Amino acid sequence: MTKPLAGRHIAVLLGGLSPERDVSLVSGAACADALERLGARVSRVDAGRDLAQVLTALKPDLAFNALHGAWGEDGCVQGVLETLDLPYTHSGVLSSALAMDKAKAKAVMAAAGVTVPGGGLFNRFEAAREHVMPPPYVVKPNAQGSSVGVFLVFEGANGPPQELAQPSWTFGEEVMIEPYIRGKELAVAVMGDRAISVTDIVAATGFYDYEAKYGEGGSKHIVPAEIAPEIFELALRQAELAHASLGCRGLTRSDFRYDDLNQKLVLLEVNTQPGMTPTSLAPEQAAHVGVSFDDLILWIVEEAYGRGGTGGAQSS
């Protein structure tokens, strides 16, 4: 029996230059293994500054983007792939850049009717000098993922995080500061234009940080989330609306906070390159509705091939 991707040559972009490199290496390896099981010839490419030259030499017919964070998820690598006229998975240049910029993404989503948190951008030194809003609040880089560089400032805190003013801070001069929303951490994956399900994430430490996301036993995922049906449905629709408003394509994951005491659901951000590790949320949701990991990878690839060329351009 012929395998579905027989005769295809796919370059899996993994690793990269961001603080999320280690997660990308795991995601990329899992995706590359699945693609090989599906019959593709796979080139694993640790995406560095010479990416254009490497891909030009390899001559793949598609790039599977398994990068996370800056450069791989923010439109930069997508721009390289557009220049090469090489089809690629996940979202395009504009939607990737927009989703990665939390402040701009929130403005676009709010205009479309998505409920987002308040707050705004502040200079990191200003944010380190004094509380810019009454605690509790959350401090996060404006353009990072995987909860890298995130701080919770609780009521009674003597002052803001001093790490923001240190020379070791490498996450930009502006930080996003938002009110802390108590309650549940929820996630919704979207395939194409349809939300899959809702996951309730229970972090072992009480905060869904980097270790909780990727460490063994760092969090428990409840799929489907045991929440009121109307909130479950609202999360699905809000994720679809956010995906569409940012112009995303392929697979995305929207992250929410749900204040179950006040029945308030707030969308925090949209991830255009969801993690594809063994503990990742999107593959779990797909499996819950009967889509195996390999079938999910096949769908992502076929969706990218189906667009024909890059960014909607005609394939050469």
Q: Residues 67-100: pLDDT tens digits?
A: 999 899 999 999 999 999 999 999 999 999 999 9
300, 89 contact by CB (below 8 A): yes
Residues 282 and 191 in one domain: yes
> Is pLDDT at 212 greater than 70 in this prediction?
no
**Cβ distance 279 to 218 under 8 Å?**
yes
Is 123 one of the catalytic residues? no
Task: State whether 198 and 52 are in the same domain.
Answer: no
**CATH (domain of 138):** 3.30.1490
- Known catalytic residue: 271? yes
Q: CA-CA distance, 186 to 200, in Å (whole number)?
A: 5
250 and 297 share a domain?
A: no
Catalytic, 142? Answer no
Q: Would residue 64 count as lying in a domain?
A: yes
Length of the chain: 316
Distance CA 201, CA 162 (A): 29
Q: Tell me, yes or no, if 39 is annotated catalytic.
A: no
pLDDT at 243: 98
Considering the domain architecture, whether residues 41 and 141 belong to the same structural domain is answered as no
Beta bridge partners of 145: none
Residue-wise pLDDT tens digits, 188-203: 999 999 999 999 999 8
Token digits of residue 285? 């949701």
Per the prediction, the chain carries an average pLDDT of: 91
Q: What's the one-letter identity of residue 146? A: S
Domain end (from 128, 163, 179): 179
| 269: annotated active-site residue | yes
> Has residue 82 been placed in a domain?
yes
Rounded to whole angstroms, how far apart are CA atoms 180 and 298? 38
Do 113 and 133 share a structural domain? no
Query: How much is the pLDDT for 278?
Result: 72
Q: Which CATH number is 273's domain given?
A: 3.30.470.20
Catalytic residue among 8, 15, 16, 20: 20
Domain shared by 197 and 277, yes or no: yes
**Average pLDDT of the residues in 109-127:** 95
Evaluate if pTM is beyond 0.75.
yes
Query: Which of 160, 179, 198 marks a domain boundary?
Result: 179
- Same-domain check for residues 112 and 216: yes
Catalytic pick from 245, 269, 280, 284? 269
- 253 annotated active-site: yes
What is the Cα–Cα distance from 251 to 285, expressed in whole angstroms?
12
Note if 247 is an active site residue: no
* CA-based nearest residue to 117, from 97, 100, 103, 134: 103
227 and 274 housed in the same domain: yes
Q: Check if the beta carbon of residue 268 is closer than 8 Å to that of residue 20.
A: no
Number of other residues whose CB lies within 10 A of the CB of residue 262: 10
Residues 108 and 216 in one domain: yes
Q: Burial, 130: exposed, middle or buried (Cβ in 10 Å; 0-12, 13-18, 19+)? A: exposed
Q: What is the CATH number of the domain that holds 76?
A: 3.40.50.20
- 173 assigned to some structural domain: yes
314 pLDDT band, cuts 50/70/90, is: very low
Residue 177 pLDDT greater than 80, yes or no = yes
| C-beta atoms surrounding 111 within 10 Å | 9
Domain boundary among 155, 179, 203: 179
* pLDDT band, residue 209 (cuts 50/70/90): very low
Q: What is the pLDDT of residue 81?
A: 97
Of the residues 214, 254, 257, 284, only one is catalytic, namely 214
Say how far apart CA 313 and CA 87 lie, in whole Å.
9
Distance between CA 38 and CA 226 in Å, rounded?
Answer: 35
Query: Based on the structure, what is the number of domains in the chain?
Result: 3
**Burial class (CB within 10 angstroms; exposed 0-12, middle 13-18, buried 19+) of 179:** middle
Q: Same domain for 254 and 191?
A: yes
Which residue among 18, 43, 147, 271 is the active-site one? 271
pLDDT for residue 4: 97
Chain segment 274-306, per-residue pLDDT in tens: 999 877 999 999 999 999 999 999 999 999 999
Q: What are phi and psi of 196, to 5 degrees?
A: -90, -60
Residue 313 lies in a domain: no
- Kindly list the distances between the CA atom of residue 273 and the CA atoms of 13, 111, 303, in Å, as whole numbers in the listed order: 12, 23, 15
User: Which residue range forms the structural domain that includes residue 207?
Assistant: 98-117+181-288
Q: Which residues contact 118 (CB under 8 A, 6 or more apart)?
A: 178, 179
Specify the pLDDT at position 206: 54
Determine whether 174 is exposed, middle or buried from the number of CB atoms within 10 Å of its CB (0-12, 13-18, 19+): middle
Choosing from 255, 258, 280, 284, the catalytic residue is: 255
Q: For residue 281, tell me if it sits in a domain.
A: yes
In this structure, is residue 1 part of a structural domain?
A: no
Answer yes or no: do 298 and 266 share one domain: no
316 is a domain residue? no
Q: Are residues 108 and 63 in the same domain?
A: no
More confident residue, 246 or 148: 246
pLDDT band at residue 205 using 50, 70 and 90 as cut-offs: low
Q: Is 60 exceeded by the pLDDT of residue 48?
A: yes
Q: Provide the pLDDT for residue 147.
A: 63
Q: What is the dihedral of CA 106, 111, 113, 114, to 10 degrees?
A: 0
Beta strand segments in 47-173, E: 62-65, 120-123, 137-141, 151-153
pLDDT of residue 204: 73
Average pLDDT over residues 26-46: 97
Would 226 be classed as within a structural domain?
Answer: yes
Instruction: Identify whether 275 is a catalytic site residue.
Output: yes
